[in-house]
């Protein structure tokens, strides 16, 4: 059902330092920062030949990644995102298998303007898992 790896998201407490690491030390192509107030994050996309890395920095008081950074002060892998062709069909299949979809279970528009859902880490090998319709 799942297709390509769309991105790996890494939470950072300091986006500028993260950009310096990826653009400077690692020599990758990094986008301009983009604010996503609905998701409580500021994000840059690291463009790799075969996938993307997203660096997420919390914004606002209730950012969903603030707690993650409290537990992982030096940052860390926050989630992985796989592509699916039909997000509603994928969601319904996973729910039928007993997997938990986070939030109200309805797809939201994600960082790339496409519908996404998030799946409970406990059902997916301890990893917060995003599905994005391509």
Q: Which residues bind Co ion (CB under 5 A)?
A: 9, 81, 130
Q: Which residue of the set 54, 57, 130, 132 is catalytic?
A: 130
19 versus 118: smaller Cβ distance to Co ion: 118
The shares of helix, strand and coil residues in the chain, as percent rounded to the nearest 5, are 25, 35, 40
Question: In the chain, which residue ranges form alpha helices assigned H by DSSP?
Answer: 15-19, 66-71, 87-96
Q: How far is the CB of 56 from Co ion (least distance, A)?
A: 8
In the DSSP assignment, the letter for residue 101 is B
State which residue, 9 or 19, has the beta carbon closest to Co ion: 9
Rounded least distance, CB 77 to Co ion, Å: 11
Given the complex with Co ion, which of 53 and 81 has the nearer CB atom? 81
Min CB(9)–Co ion separation in Å:
5
Determine whether 130 is an active site residue. yes
Cα–Cα distance, 32 to 41 (Å, whole number): 14
For residue 53, CA distances in Å to 22, 23, 74, 88, 98 come to 10, 12, 17, 25, 29
Catalytic residues, which ones?
130
């Amino acid at each position: 059902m799942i297709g390509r790896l769309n991105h790996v998201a890494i939470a950072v407490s300091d986006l500028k330092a993260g950009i310096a690491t990826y653009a400077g030390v690692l020599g990758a192509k990094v986008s301009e920062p983009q604010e996503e107030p609905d998701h409580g994050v500021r994000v840059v996309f690291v463009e790799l030949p075969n996938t993307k890395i997203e660096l997420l920095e919390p914004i606002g008081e209730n950012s969903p990644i603030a707690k993650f950074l409290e537990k992982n002060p030096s940052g860390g892998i926050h989630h992985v995102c796989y592509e699916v062709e039909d997000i509603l069909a994928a969601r319904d299949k996973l729910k039928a298998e007993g997997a938990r979809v986070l939030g109200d279970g309805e797809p939201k528009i994600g960082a790339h303007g496409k519908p996404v859902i998030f799946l409970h880490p406990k059902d997916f090998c301890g990893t917060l898992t995003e599905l994005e319709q391509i």
